[in-house]
Amino acid sequence: MPGMQIGIDLGSSCITAYAAGKGIVLHEANAISFDTFSGEAVAVGNEAMAMTDRTPSSLRLCRPMQAGVISDFSIQCEILRRMLDRVCKGAVLRPNLIISVPSDLTKLEQRTILDAAIACGAARVSLIPGPVAAAFGAGISIEEPHGVLVVDIGAGTTDIAVMTMGTVAYCKSLPLAGDDFDKDIVRYLRRTAGVEIGLPTAKRLKHQIGCVSAREEEFEAAANGKDTLRQMPLQCAVTSTQICEALKEDAEKIADAVLSVLEEVPPELFADLCDSGLTLCGGSSKLYGLDTVLHEKLRLSVKVAPDGEHCAAKGAGYALRQMKQLEDHGLQFRVRERGIG
């Protein structure tokens, strides 16, 4: 198959690309900012995301992927085209892509993503369910008749899937993930401390001291914001206990969603899961205490995948190299050749 072979995790927060023979070659925010008067793109990726809550009225920041679904086709095409130009700089032939997507997208949503990739110059595009890609990226084999459970917590969605023999047997996509954790922190501090902070500050607090179960040692971080009563600048100290209070409810919702999937699993497949346990992937998988919450709720062993943020992109790249073998094992890809369909 001529052309670069690229696996892409097209996430609500970030676009991650894995190139065959090179590894992870791109990890940028799925965002772009435009000049509202000329309509020209001013910044894309991390540079655009750094402008969150800092743009004047003459600039507009856009994030076209919401909860795993493209909300603005033309803008997503522009971002993806620019990202592919970075990855394929100097390449003569058009790239071949396999894109990791949420497991329960409708046919229309799948076609929209295929159309976007073809419009960006791809020669051949395939889609793979996100949990399958994440499983491959985490080093899990799903080709044997043995059940495995993967929970992929991204920015916009949490994908839960039980897989066996190369296919997804049971799955659920929950529109609750890392972005919601950030919003939880903003709401909690506004309600309990009377301070208004931005989403970038909330994300920083989540990464620095975030947790969903009590830490052995309490941590503290400073946050700059605005006093909600006096509308004056305010700096406050935020503790890990406060962040835990803000996030624990959504962590419980994720555990309940996993439990609802397990309730559908037949006994023999469930017995496999008791042996293999649960694998956590995605950018929010390393949130302190999340594995503990899931273990206590589900009574399954929980393993956090190393480099969970890049698992889906790595797994998509693996699937692109092994597509023929995986198809022989029953894994189905939705494919669009350029100019067809």
CB 197 within 8 A of CB 235: no
Alpha helices in the chain (DSSP H): 46-49, 73-87, 107-119, 130-137, 178-192, 199-209, 240-262, 267-276, 290-298, 311-321, 323-328
CB 15 within 8 A of CB 82: no
Strand partners, 24: 18
Q: What is the pLDDT of residue 277?
A: 93
For the record, the structure tokens of 310 come out as 């890049």
CA distance 70 to 85: 20
Spatial CA neighbour of 99 closest among 328, 324, 317, 330: 317
DSSP string, 134-162: HHHHTT---SSSS-EEEEEE-SS-EEEEE
3-state secondary structure of 134: helix
CA distance 179 to 175: 10
CA distance 57 to 273: 52
CA distance 252 to 250: 5
**pLDDT tens per residue, the chain (341 residues)?**
566 889 999 888 899 999 988 889 999 999 999 988 888 889 999 999 888 877 788 888 899 888 777 888 889 888 988 898 888 887 767 888 888 887 777 888 888 888 888 888 888 888 888 888 899 899 888 777 889 999 999 888 899 999 888 778 898 889 999 999 999 999 999 999 999 999 999 999 999 999 999 898 999 999 999 998 888 988 999 999 999 999 999 999 999 999 999 999 999 999 999 999 999 999 899 899 999 999 999 999 999 998 888 999 998 888 877 776 666 655 556 566 654 44
CA distance 246 to 211: 9
CB 132 within 8 A of CB 119: no
Q: What is the pLDDT of residue 340?
A: 43
Q: What is the pLDDT of residue 332?
A: 55
Residue positions counted in the chain: 341
Q: Which domains does the chain have, with CATH numbers?
A: 5-133+311-337 (3.30.420.40), 143-176+248-306 (3.30.420.40), 187-246 (3.90.640.10)
Record the pTM: 0.86
Q: What is the pLDDT of residue 334?
A: 59
| Angle 202-304-213 from CA coordinates, rounded to 5° | 50
Q: Report how far apart, in Å, the C-alpha atoms of 175 and of each of 67, 68, 181, 198, 286 are.
A: 6, 8, 12, 21, 19
Instruction: Output Rg (C-alpha) for the chain, integer angstroms.
Output: 21
Q: What is the pLDDT of residue 246?
A: 96
Maximum Cα interatomic distance, the chain, rounded to a whole number of Å: 65
Q: What is the pLDDT of residue 28?
A: 93
Q: What is the pLDDT of residue 336?
A: 65
Q: How many CA atoms lie within 13 A of 157 on its CB side?
A: 26
Q: What is the pLDDT of residue 335?
A: 63
CA distance 5 to 62: 28
